[in-house]
Amino acid sequence: MVMMNLKHVDELSGGRKRFRRRYPKALVPVIGETVFQVAMKAREGGALVTEWERLMKDYDREVRKAERKAGVAPAGDVSPLEEWREARREADAMLGAFKDDLTEDERRELLGDELERRGADPLLYQAVVTPEAKEPKITMLDAKNMYLQERLAGGTGRNNKNRLERVCKRVEVTLGPLHKLPLVDLTRDQARVLRDAMLSTRKADGSKLAPASVRRELDMIKAIVTLGIKEFGLQREVVNPFVDLPISNKDKAPDVDSNKRDPLPLEVLSAMRLRMRKKTQTPALGLIWRMLEGTGCRGAEVIGLRREDVLIDGLYPHINVAWHEDRRVKTVASIRSVPLVGDALVAAREALKLSEGEPLLFPKYGYAGGPDAASAALMKHLRTVTKDKRHVVYSLRHNMKDKLVLAGTSERVENRIMGHTVGGLGDRVYGGDDAKLKVAYEAMQKAVELAPKGLLG
């Protein structure tokens, strides 16, 4: 069972859970209650997290209503458009509760008078008395929420969502709150101002954001705006100002991928292997490290494995990196079979034994943020043996790539093992899976055999 410590959730008798969160003191007079609390239906696992997330949103909604009533501007992750539509839905529900033989106008007049007498939410009052009012403009906040729903829903992990929040925070710092940035009003000048501000942004170590990082973040902003334009039907009204926005920084050296992450030196690998065997109190964490080191997979690809994805009894033991409900792989090229050779095979056997009776190979990390939690834990261990910022868990992929290169592995086979895009149509489509696995397995065997002694355990 995965132990979760969710904020604002306490234990009731019989294993039942309760969501309980205090309202801000300043809003208690407006709301009329001090605490928002609900007995939860779920007791554990993903269902509990899903219900908790819904209740957090319900709480935020109640707080926003009170803020509007108290004259506080809308904030958080709900846009003026969503606030208006929510008020319209609530108004329709209240009007539908009338049992008398009244016309719609009479109902609206009576309900409006009652809401005004009670000092109700101004937006709700407006939705009752002026239902024909024009909707608020579609904003960057609407586009962001649509992107979150359509592009980052499901098991994408926290990294992409954290990146979205970081990128949107940069927009707000430079251009203002997202809910005050209508898509129809975005200009090329604003896009350039944001780009220049990002290029001037200092990181924690004092260095500036690399142009490549700025490009990636601007690409996400461009994608957010593009999706908003499409999903809200604004194609005839909005031109995305972030399209074809040039990035230049003549005073900065070219950003080379090999400068960002280094393969881990032999002494670091050896120290980490020893630490994973003797210092970690979580056996699964050590097995994850050994499988990452021995396969070159991305962290989430190993951490999200199901037991059924680990095939160790055939002629060519391997893992199947595949899409499933608990783990979405990065790209089509990422869906592949990765050979298990040497210590990676030993670690996989140990993981299967450790996870008997569970659907996932590493059930301790079998939740939405599990891969991120495991990666963070591994990084803490890694930082005890190396302080080099270019040494990270992802460096193990560079180690495996180096081994494959030194073993003379063809680029096509190397790409299949690493989950990179494979060249032409023939490479992607033709050839049987068994033949591809055989070639990949033999290449991995050779890479392990040629690796410096001690490199793979």
Q: What is the pLDDT of residues 71-85, one digit of tens each?
A: 665 455 678 898 898
Strand 17-22, strand 35-39: pairing? antiparallel
Q: Residue 240 in contact with residue 189, Cβ under 8 Å?
A: no
Q: Quickly state the pLDDT bin for 240 (edges 50, 70, 90).
A: very high
pLDDT at 244 over 90: yes
CA distance 297 to 411: 17
How many percent of the chain have pLDDT more than 70? Answer: 86
Closest CA to 293 of 402, 389, 413, 368: 402
* CA-based max dimension of the chain: 88
Between 195 and 428, residue with greater pLDDT: 195
Q: Residue 309 in contact with residue 319, Cβ under 8 Å?
A: yes
- For the beta sheet containing 35-39, the strands, ordered from the edge strand earlier in sequence to the opposite edge, are 9-11, 17-22, 35-39
Q: Quickly state the pLDDT bin for 249 (edges 50, 70, 90).
A: low
Closest CA to 348 of 317, 315, 326: 317
pLDDT at 424: 45
Average pLDDT, integer, range 426-451:
78
Side chain identity at 452, as an amino acid letter?
Answer: P
Closest CA to 323 of 309, 313, 311: 309
What are the tokens at 364?
Answer: 């301790």
Q: Which of 185-199, 298-312, 413-427, 430-444 has the highest mean pLDDT?
A: 185-199
154-186 pLDDT per residue, tens: 545 567 888 899 999 999 999 999 999 999 999
pLDDT at 457 over 70: no
Q: What is the DSSP string of 151-199?
A: TS-SS--HHHHHHHHHHHHHHHHHH--GGG-BGGG--HHHHHHHHHHHH
CA distance 342 to 296: 13
pLDDT at 433 over 50: yes
Q: Quickly state the pLDDT bin for 343 (edges 50, 70, 90).
A: very high
What are the tokens at 266?
Answer: 């032999």
Residue length of the chain? 457
pLDDT at 269: 94
Q: Quickly state the pLDDT bin for 421 (edges 50, 70, 90).
A: low
Between 54 and 298, residue with greater pLDDT: 298
pLDDT at 20: 93
Q: What is the DSSP string of 52-116?
A: HHHHHHHHHHHHHHHHHHTTPPP-TT--HHHHHHHHHHHHHHHHHT--S---HHHHHHHHHHHHH
Q: Quickly state the pLDDT bin for 331 (edges 50, 70, 90).
A: very low
User: What does DSSP assign to residue 236?
Assistant: T
Between 157 and 189, residue with greater pLDDT: 189
| Residues sharing a CB contact under 8 Å with residue 423, sequence separation 6 or more, in sequence order | 411, 412, 415
The rounded Cα 310 to chain-centroid distance in angstroms is: 25
Q: What is the DSSP string of 300-319?
A: HHHHT-BGGGEE-SSSS-EE
pLDDT at 2 over 70: no
22 φ, ψ to 5°? -75, 145
pLDDT at 408 over 50: yes
Side chain identity at 335, as an amino acid letter?
Answer: I
pLDDT at 324: 57
Q: Quickly state the pLDDT bin for 454 (edges 50, 70, 90).
A: very low
338 φ, ψ to 5°? -115, 120
268-320 pLDDT per residue, tens: 999 999 999 888 889 999 999 999 999 999 998 999 899 999 999 989 999 99
pLDDT at 177: 93
| Residues sharing a CB contact under 8 Å with residue 32, sequence separation 6 or more, in sequence order | none
* Dihedral sign, Cα of residue 226, residue 211, residue 163, residue 72: negative
Q: Residue 393 in contact with residue 299, Cβ under 8 Å?
A: yes
Question: Mean pLDDT score of the chain, rounded to an integer?
Answer: 85
pLDDT at 211: 92
Q: Quickly state the pLDDT bin for 347 (edges 50, 70, 90).
A: very high
pLDDT at 150 over 80: yes
pLDDT at 5: 65
Between 2 and 157, residue with greater pLDDT: 157
Q: Quickly state the pLDDT bin for 330 (edges 50, 70, 90).
A: very low
Strand 9-11, strand 336-339: pairing? unpaired
Q: Which of 111-115, 447-451, 452-456 has the highest mean pLDDT?
A: 111-115
pLDDT at 426: 41
**Residue located via tokens 């060249």:** 423
pLDDT at 452: 60
Segment among 185-194, 211-220, 221-230, 246-255 with least mean pLDDT: 246-255
